[in-house]
Amino acid sequence: MDKDKLTEDIITTLKTIYDPEIPVDIYELGLIYGIDVKEDASVVISMTLTSPSCPVAETLPPEVESKVKETPGVTDCKVEITWEPQWDKSMMSEAAQLELGFL
């Protein structure tokens, strides 16, 4: 198993998942804090949401788990939500900031 290649494929998958309130994918939005690919090709994703009262708090993490599990080579996926550090718009990629008019 090539962990780097699998991580790249997972990032490609994450870039297909969008925050429904902001027209930017969750990876470029800076919501993904970590991708840990284990030796058995299971994956633990550490992520946050734009706010604790985010309307997709109940649906987005299961969507991430489901889509990452469908990535070829991934055996399982677990999403861990964290609020540290708290998300803010400076965590967005330059492309996302440009798209949303912050630059």
Question: What residue type is 80 in one-letter code?
Answer: E
The ranges assigned to domains in the chain are 3-85
Pick the CATH number of 3-85 from 3.30.230.10, 3.30.300.130, 2.70.150.10, 2.30.110.10: 3.30.300.130
For residue 57, what pLDDT is reported? 83
pLDDT tens, per residue, the chain with 103 residues: 799 999 999 999 999 999 887 889 999 999 999 999 999 999 999 999 988 887 888 899 999 999 999 999 999 999 999 999 999 989 999 989 988 888 7
For residue 71, what pLDDT is reported? 97
User: Distance between CA 68 and CA 13 in Å, rounded?
Assistant: 6
Which pair of tokens denotes residue 92? Answer: 């967005």
User: Distance between CA 55 and CA 42 in Å, rounded?
Assistant: 28
Asked if 13 contacts 68 with a C-beta cutoff of 8 angstroms, the reply is yes
How many other C-beta atoms can be found within 10 angstroms of the C-beta atom of residue 14? 21
